[in-house]
Amino acid sequence: MNTTSTGGNRYFLTFIDDYSRKTWVYFLKYKSEVFDYFKVFKALAEKQSGFALKTLRSDQGGEFSSNVFENFLKENGIKHQFTARYTPQQNGVAERKNRTIMELARSMLKAKAMPNRFWAEAVACAVYLLNRASSNSVEGKTPQEAWSGLKPCISHLRIFGSIAYSHIPDETRRKLDDKSEKCILVGYSEKAKAYKLFNPLTNKIIVSRDVKFNEEEAWNWSEAENQSPILLDIGLENPDLTPPTTSSQGLSSTSSSDSSEEEEISRGQRRSTRAHQPSTRYPSSDYVLITNGGTNFALFVDADPIMFEEASKDEKWVKAMDQEIDSIKKNDTWELVDLPQGKKPIGVKWVYKTKLNAQGEVEKYKARLVAKGYKQNYGIDYNEVFAPVARFDTIRMVLALAAQNCWKVFQMDVKSAFLQGFLEEEVYVVQPPGYVQGNEETKVCRLKKALYGLKQAPRAWYSRIDAFFQEYGFHKCPYEHTLYTKKNSQGEILIVCLYVDDLIFTGSNAQMCDNFKMIMSQRFEMTDLGLLHFFLGIEVKQNENGIYISQKKYAKELLKRFRLENAKSIATPMEVGVKIGKNDGSTMVNQTLFRSLVGGLLYLTTTRPDLTYAVSFLSRFMESPKDVHWELGKRILRYVVGTINYGLHYYPVQNLNLTGYSDSDLGEMLILAKAHLVMSLALAQVRFLGPPKSNL
């Protein structure tokens, strides 16, 4: 800034969370303080979130390239990246946010004819208000709500620059003294639930909770400035500000006390109560943007790259891309040709994914070349697209049968499965970024086989693997087209269950399983994963006592997504005798968020039948969810907190029978006023609830 603020500052530094768009702001006297604020923010973020910062992205300013700064980053294992010069478009979110902050600050100053030396107070107030204003970037929620999961109270907000009469406590005044002092509202305290007020007569900023406002009146600054001239006004018309870019991942949640705290300050008759203190914990998010006057930089937990240009600078991703291209060439997926007249090639892009195991550890870095299938035209580039996948009922049945007969269950993965399917249509794609053939830049790739991203790729792969199974004598189940069986002359059986490119198989003869591995490896490029231990988010443990399946890792992720990982547990997923209808509740909740909660819980019922009824009941309100329905969902999650190790334990018994169970509840559903009937069939014995015994 051209001139200092009332606090003697010339720069401001903002931290922006890209997931929620929540913003934090700090004020600096010198650019050299950026490093100190970076250390403060790093310590705060890492301690409160439990995640280590991995990468710092900055411009090439001197405040970021000093030896001290670079050494600090190296000592802490933080990778330093630089943005290109003169490219504000790389910082889109921060650039627009910074502009919005300045426009709002300028408007607030002009509205009450306040001196420009209050720019810092106006900027801080603008950030406070923007955090509580709805944003299309977070599906109509406010940044504060997206960050904390709680809708912020705004009844305490007042017009910036309004006249404020701050109550003087009895203990600090005499009997004939004024009971209040006339001040100006300049913001909301971040350290206490109170307002920030400026007294022009004493040139001091005070913090007070007990305040009465006159929002129509403004201070006579010309008279005040003549009586007590102080700092020169600063020019806000052309602030020297350049916003930055950043990213961060997976920061934790805010506490559930925010709502009640803000409720307290909203009471009273146009009277100040207390302003909401910002959350000290971080939500699950993917990016944090950090900006300051004249500089750009970014810090983030190591996330998967989005652009090829970024990935090409990292050796592990280059290696992953090389492996993908090798698979494509080995599979003879395409051939380079000149583009026929009248044909249009489809674009391709790289997709990067860090794959984790059941313990959340990095298993491998995967780069996938995908076609931009959304540009395909029906009837020209593709026709049929449907391809079946195994249902979870089928998978559980196979596991139950294996447990009953003490069979081992194995797992294999088809490498680049979608590249194996033969195409019936004539499809052309451009050459992949980074792998354009020299002297053949104008040529395109004519696909012989499918490519990931094509609309028909799943069907092409299924058609090929289905033909392969039938060629080798497998029988396809007429009711589950991804379940195949094969018997030998002795009546011994092999069972294979297919889920896209993952295969689980078991059988009564170990040699049949070994032979299956061999013929699969001869026809396709396979990865033998040995005994089944992790499949579609389900953790599997096998031993002589049976098979135990659970979704502990997924349950933790679900709790973290909804910021309830540290919530107090509860004994039951639903309250006994609860009767709730569609019209109950007073406040609508975010429909997308509610549906995400229900969907996440539905997947968890794969190994948690104790949740099935509660989640089924909850799913009836997805059309128009209210606050009471949201509380039902949160109750289920709180139940999951205390039962996170629960799962299903299949074990063998003497006599195997198909057993049916039923239950009913007359009039449990207020919406339909009809009886509710539940029926289920059980194959093999299964114990539910409780983690596996130590020998599992």
Contact 555, 640 (CB under 8 A): yes
Q: For residue 377, count CB atoms less than 10 angstroms from its CB and return exposed for 0-12, middle for 13-18, buried for 19 or more.
A: exposed
Strands 55-58 and 79-82: parallel
Q: What is the 3-state secondary structure (H, E, C) of 248-265?
A: CCCCCCCCCCHHHHHHHH
pLDDT tens across 347-387, in order?
999 999 888 776 667 888 999 999 888 888 887 777 888 88
Q: What is the 3-state secondary structure (H, E, C) of 60-110?
A: CCHHHHCHHHHHHHHHCCCEEEECCCCCHHHHHHHHHHHHHHHHHHHHHHH
Contacts of 126 (CB under 8 A, 6+ apart): 100, 101, 104, 105, 108
Would you place residue 29 in the very low, low, confident or very high pLDDT band (cuts 50, 70, 90)? confident
Q: For residue 294, count CB atoms less than 10 angstroms from its CB and return exposed for 0-12, middle for 13-18, buried for 19 or more.
A: middle
Contact 334, 427 (CB under 8 A): no
Strands 163-167 and 180-188: antiparallel
pLDDT tens across 77-128, in order?
888 777 777 666 666 677 788 889 988 998 899 888 888 889 899 999 999 9
The Cα 634–Cα 558 span in angstroms is 11
- Return the pLDDT at 552: 92
CATH number of 11-155+229-300: 3.30.420.10
DSSP output for 387-443: -----HHHHHHHHHHHHHHT--EEEEEETTGGGSSBPSS--EEPPPTT-PPTT-TT-
The Cα 477–Cα 349 span in angstroms is 37
Nearest to residue 559, comparing CAs of 627, 633, 475?
633
Question: Which tokens belong to 355?
Answer: 């794959």
Which position has the token pair 């509710």?
Answer: 676
pLDDT tens across 317-335, in order?
999 999 989 988 888 889 9
Would you place residue 301 in the very low, low, confident or very high pLDDT band (cuts 50, 70, 90)? very low
How many other C-beta atoms are found inside a 10 Å radius of the C-beta of residue 691?
A: 15
- Top pLDDT among 256 and 547 is at 547
pLDDT tens across 170-204, in order?
776 777 777 888 999 999 987 778 899 998 888 88
CA distances from 234 to 1, 59, 98, 266, 378 (A): 7, 26, 18, 34, 61
pLDDT tens across 539-586, in order?
999 988 889 999 999 999 999 989 898 889 999 998 887 778 877 877
Domain boundaries, the chain: 11-155+229-300, 308-536, 548-688
